[in-house]
Structure 1
């Protein structure tokens, strides 16, 4: 057997090991949908729920509660769409949707995300609203980076972008809404589109 054949075999073995240790059914189109949902949610919040100039949101105000409902709705829509598209892609490629790798992916993603969510709620309960958008971006970015080792693609770079946006948002808290729109909306649409185009080339 020639050296070329050996190298080819080693490459195939490495590819199989990589496929078995990483979750590979994520689809770029789910990222696009998540970004669109975030932008639509932000527009609804901006035009219908944000206080007038000189007024402030409070933890127990109706507008604030509706904003929380809106955020939860955007998150649920994004998760449901990602689950549906991922399941369909896995079936098409004859891949398992639920295995030890999937569990590791979810655990590593949820630990920073849930911890961050609880911390944000504690701060909100203490009436510290100014850095909410920054904290959301930071903890979401950390969750993406933490989970990236269990999935293919360059999702860690999306995490890095979210972290940088979160830090910038902390520097300019008066623009928290716009950083949130860019981080959860525009960035997801762009990144999801790039992923989708890469999938089409394969």
Structure 2
């Protein structure tokens, strides 16, 4: 059974150097994750959709130390309000060969392509987590009338920058890789740069607005 740190947050030992937290709402989990990262005491702090996974050096931190840091982060999470995060504007092209599934999505939803683009760009999106490929951002906030399923047959290769729409979320492919989401456009704003201190432009908790632009 997990140790309970407070009425919501639960603490699971996954390995000698690995802890998983769960149980609180997403906003709280993101705030706790940011507070834990700010301690610089962990090897990795990885946000999941409803979890946080912590990797630490057991030679430097005891389990009691880790629990104490989590407790402090939980108490200070209110100081890390995500609402204050700057909105990141991503320019996107929604036409031509970079939007191979936009017609499919429009037919599935019985909406015009212009209406889909307009409503998606009007929404404020939120990065919930990164995965399944490096830098792939799962973004919530997609209007309910724009929810569509994944493709029946995934692609073996999706180009970097591609913008997907599936299962009530948007997804950005920071790097090329396989994928099963309908591709409705391409992000023109850089999503990955090895010269950046943090190489991926998006991170859990990022607020995002899409801006439709013409293909250059």
Q: TM-score band (shorter)?
A: under 0.3
Q: Which has the higher helix share?
A: 1
Q: Which has the higher strand share?
A: 2
TM-score (norm. length: structure 2): 0.24
Q: TM-score, normalised by structure 1?
A: 0.25
Greater relative CO (CA pairs within 8 A, separation 6+): 1
